[in-house]
Structure formats: C-alpha cells, structure tokens
Amino acid sequence: MSCSLGSEDSLDLIKQESQNSKLDPWVANPPLLQKLVSSSPALFRFQSTQDSPLFKLKDISGKVFELPRGGCVAITSAGPIQFGIPPETIKDSLNLGFEIPNYYVIPKSRWDKMFHMSVAEFEFPAYFNFFVKKKKITLICTKEAKKAIRVIFRETLLGPKTFEFFDQEFFPGYKGKPDIVKELAHFSKNPFNHNLPLTVSSLLDFIIFDENGFCFLLPHLNKFLGLAYLPNEVTIRKEQKIFTVLEKDVEIAQVRDRIRIRVDENLEDYKDQLRYGLFMNPAIEMDEKKLEIYKEKYKPIQFDPPTFGVTILGSGHGFDPKGNTSGYIVWINGRGVMVDPPPFSTHLLKKMGVPSIMIEWIIITHCHADHDAGTFQKILESTKVEVITTKTIMGSFIRKYAAVVDMNEKDLAQLFKFRPVVIGAPLKFNSATFNFFYSLHAIPCIGFSVSYKNKSMFFSADTFYDPTAFFS
Ligand SMILES: [Zn+2]
C-alpha cells in the first residue's frame, strides 16, 4: 500500500487527536476517521472494497473495516476485534494510525493454501501488545487451534525443549561453541519482572468457543472488577463459514470464516499489478483493453544479477509500519541464496523482474515470524530449492510449521531438501564459501560470513547487541 500521497499529515493528525483525547481513535473518533478516509483516498484505498467486501458480510454498526493485507476488524464496546491474522498485519494498524487489537478471532482454516502463508500469524500482535503495551492478546478459537498455537508459540518464543543434535553441529575442534541452554535461559525471563519466567501464557490468553459455537467477551474493566455479563457484553457466534458479532444480544456484524491474504493493495500499485500480471484479487475486475495498454507500456525489467552482491527484499523489522520485513538474496555468479524469505517474497521478486528459478538455496536463520513467514511460499513454488540451516533450527522449523499447516512432521519434512550446516566447516556454493556461527538471540539463530574471490560479506542475523549489558 502506498502511503506517500500527502497522507502523513493526516496520520499525524489522527494520532495527535487520539493522544489528546486519551481515547481509542477507533471508538472515539469516527468523524475523524471519515475525515482521514476522505482526505487520503490513496492511503485508504482498501476502503473502496467496502462496497464489494471480501471478508465482511454484514455491517450494521458501520464499524467493520477490511484490512489491506487481509482480514477485518470490528469495533465493539469490548475494543477492536480482528478476524484473521495475515503476516505483518500489525503494519496495517500502525499505518492506519489505529490501535492494535487485543482480541483476535482465529479462522477455521489457519493456512492460506493459495499463498502458502499463515492467516493466524499471531506472533507480532502478541509481541507488540506485550513489549509495547504491556498487555496480553486474547485469541478466540477452537480447542484444537489453541493446542496448535501453544505448540507454535512455545517453539518460537522459547526455542526447542531439548538439544539432542546440538553437539553434533560443530566441526571437531571448533572453538566458540555456545552454552545454548544458558543463553536461552537468559532471555526466558519476563522482561517486566525478572523473577517470573517468560511463558506462552505471559503473552497469550485464549477464549474457546463453547459447544454451541459461542464465546463471550467482556471489557477489561469488567474483568478487573470480577463482574460478569454487564451491559457492555460482546458475544461472537461461530457458525458454518460465518462469525456473527453481537452486542447486548443484538447482531452488529457478520464476517466470513475464510480469511485470504491480499497482496495487491499492500505491495503493488495497481499499475504495477497490471505490469507484472499479479492479478490475485478477485475483487478487482480486469479491463482487457487497459491491460494491453499497460503491458505494452511497461515491459518487464530484465534482471541481471551481480557476480557477488545482495538484493534487499526488505530491511525493516516486525514493528516497522513502512518497511518490508527483512530478507535478502545473496548473489553468487548469477545464482541466488535467499536469506529469511519475507512474506510476499514471490511477488517482490516478480516485481523486480527476478526469475524465481535463479534462487537455488534458502537460509533460515531462525524461527521468528519476521524471518520465516515467507519460507513455505518459496519452498513450494520450486522443487529445486534447498533449505540450509542447522539441525536444531530445522527441528524448530518442522515442529512449528507442522502445527501451523496442520500436517505431521514427517510429511512436512518431505516437501523440501534440507542441507544441514556444520558450524566451523566451510560450506561451498558456486565457488563461494559460507561460514556459519550461532548468534546470541532469544532462540537458536545463525549468522554467516560469505567470501567469493577477494570479497566478503558478513551477516550478523538477529543478535543481542548491548555492550553495557555484556560487560556488566
Ligand atoms: Zn528474531
């Protein structure tokens, strides 16, 4: 989504006004929202889909908003409730200047089979609420989804439970093998109270649909007071393919229980979509004549990879509203190694004119969502690609994605070729030499140096860098 059309002032305005009023801009300032929408149609382009919405079916309150990356948010007296969680969804809320919701409804199908990405990507909403707002998020789901989500988050928040392969991952004589258990223990304390362990429950609460498909939400104040079923009661009813939101037993909205990822409006300009044939959104009607004109006008870029260099797919982090999540391609003699495929990397490559077939390897540095969310899309679009990481990190990846995709671990491992890294032993690729090492991070994470002829590059990966803390 483009945010460069004079929208900055409007965003500042809405943030400023909401700060002044100390109220939630969603609930407190609907006129301001309208003002912003009408003053920045480009920024709010997704609003146009409100006329032919993909996710909402009924909007009696007029407060259900579709999100650029997919899913939607219903504003209720219990706060905003989000339906579906595509990768990088918090960037939508941040870009729009709205509160990041505490409540998330998990769709029946948590995996978008078209884009091979999760639509229950709760990690960054959880991290943002916890680290920035010091709150938990509440996931509203079935018992089965809760079980899978706890497995996923245990792996990604705290790392593996055991390290049976770790000792074999180092070349004999390698000096610098970390004490991984001790390192991870350092990061597994609650940052707001070091006497408490960091656990899945530190960041996540769950509300489970009952046997009749109902769940009841109460505003935080009521929870705090221990009161139940007071006037602000909000209910969600789950039926076949539909969620219904009720306030005080009155229906205010209906939303589809089928969340699909939208790529067109968050990454591509409409012209660019025409230019590269990225017509993924069934809501956009194609005009054949226009298409021919654009095809003629915008010929695909001829991509010429460097002998030794880097293409940056993204350089932002998970909380960065403007930038793509970090991800890179290291080029060696015309062949590419993709490092931490970001979500939508396939589309970014198309946009850049880079043929997918040029990417032969993927390096997964670690299993945080801002580093692995686009991996499956990349793996499944080519049978040739090999995945490089350590056995320990691969173990985490398999356990995590078996729960994400709802597949058994063995079958999942069959979907791609795995090349295990040995730390301290050089790994050759197309005449370049990679040397990997473990960095210092909250879960097992590798960085590397790569050299080719007389040139070299170094990739630190996510790593703890705080000299004061190191020497204290
Ligand atoms: Zn990380």
What ranges do the domains of the chain cover? 8-142+209-264, 268-299, 301-471
What are 170-186's pLDDT values in tens digits?
A: 999 999 899 999 999 98
Q: How far is the CA of 314 from the centre of ligand 1 (A)?
A: 15
Write the Ramachandran bin of 38: left for phi over 0, alpha for psi from -120 to 50, otherwise beta. Answer: alpha
302 vs 464, which has greater pLDDT? Answer: 464
Whether residue 459 has pLDDT greater than 50: yes
Whether residue 220 has pLDDT greater than 80: no
pLDDT value of residue 293: 60
What are 237-253's pLDDT values in tens digits?
A: 999 999 999 988 889 99
- Are the C-beta atoms of 254 and 57 separated by less than 8 Å? yes
Mean of pLDDT values over 455-461: 95
Q: How far is the CA of 367 from the centre of ligand 1 (A)?
A: 7
Q: How far is the CA of 446 from the centre of ligand 1 (A)?
A: 10
Confidence grade of residue 309 (pLDDT, cut at 50, 70, 90): very high
What are 376-391's pLDDT values in tens digits?
A: 888 877 667 899 999 9
Q: What is the rounded radius of gyration, in angstroms, for the C-alpha atoms of the chain?
A: 23
pLDDT value of residue 196: 92
Angle formed by the axes of helices 8-21 and 30-39, nearest 10°: 170
Whether residue 109 has pLDDT greater than 50: yes
Whether residue 167 has pLDDT greater than 90: yes
Work out the mean pLDDT of the chain and round it to a whole number: 80
Q: How far is the CA of 461 from the centre of ligand 1 (A)?
A: 8
pLDDT value of residue 467: 77
pLDDT value of residue 288: 64
Q: How far is the CA of 37 from the centre of ligand 1 (A)?
A: 35
Q: How far is the CA of 470 from the centre of ligand 1 (A)?
A: 19
Cα 147 to Cα 261: distance, rounded to the nearest angstrom: 23
**What does the DSSP 8-state code read for residue 341?**
P
Q: How far is the CA of 441 from the centre of ligand 1 (A)?
A: 7
Cα 125 to Cα 122: distance, rounded to the nearest angstrom: 6
What are 394-408's pLDDT values in tens digits?
A: 999 999 999 999 999
Whether residue 274 has pLDDT greater than 60: no
Q: How far is the CA of 293 from the centre of ligand 1 (A)?
A: 44
pLDDT value of residue 45: 37
Confidence grade of residue 433 (pLDDT, cut at 50, 70, 90): very high
Q: How far is the CA of 395 from the centre of ligand 1 (A)?
A: 16
Helix or strand (DSSP H, E) at 266: helix 264-267
Q: How far is the CA of 295 from the centre of ligand 1 (A)?
A: 40
- Is the pTM value of this prediction over 0.85? no
Q: Tell me which residues have their CB within 5 A of the ion that is ligand 1.
A: 368, 462
Whether residue 159 has pLDDT greater than 60: yes
- Are the C-beta atoms of 392 and 356 separated by less than 8 Å? no
pLDDT value of residue 35: 41
pLDDT value of residue 454: 93
Confidence grade of residue 226 (pLDDT, cut at 50, 70, 90): low
Both structure tokens of 103: 């409540």
Q: How far is the CA of 408 from the centre of ligand 1 (A)?
A: 25
Whether residue 273 has pLDDT greater than 80: no
pLDDT value of residue 29: 36
Lowest-confidence region among 23-37, 159-173, 273-287: 23-37
Q: How far is the CA of 130 from the centre of ligand 1 (A)?
A: 15
Cβ count within 10 A of residue 261 = 24
Mean of pLDDT values over 250-271: 72
407 vs 466, which has greater pLDDT? Answer: 407
Q: How far is the CA of 431 from the centre of ligand 1 (A)?
A: 30
Cβ count within 10 A of residue 178 = 16
- Are the C-beta atoms of 119 and 89 separated by less than 8 Å? no
Q: How far is the CA of 386 from the centre of ligand 1 (A)?
A: 22
323 vs 418, which has greater pLDDT? Answer: 418
Mean of pLDDT values over 339-368: 85
Give the long-range contacts of residues 67-73, CB within 8 A, separation 24 or more: 67/92, 67/93, 68/1, 68/92, 68/95, 68/262, 68/265, 68/266, 69/261, 69/262, 69/266, 70/112, 70/119, 70/259, 70/260, 70/261, 70/262, 71/119, 71/259, 72/255, 73/26, 73/98, 73/101
- Are the C-beta atoms of 328 and 338 separated by less than 8 Å? yes
Q: What is the CATH code for 301-471?
A: 3.60.15.10
Q: How far is the CA of 462 from the centre of ligand 1 (A)?
A: 5
Nearest in space to 371 (alpha carbons), one of 401, 343, 348, 340: 340
Mean of pLDDT values over 360-382: 87
pLDDT value of residue 38: 39
pLDDT value of residue 225: 62
Q: How far is the CA of 156 from the centre of ligand 1 (A)?
A: 9
Whether residue 268 has pLDDT greater than 50: no
Q: How far is the CA of 346 from the centre of ligand 1 (A)?
A: 22
Q: How far is the CA of 128 from the centre of ligand 1 (A)?
A: 14
Nearest in space to 81 (alpha carbons), one of 281, 252, 263: 252
Q: How far is the CA of 369 from the centre of ligand 1 (A)?
A: 8
Cα 428 to Cα 424: distance, rounded to the nearest angstrom: 13
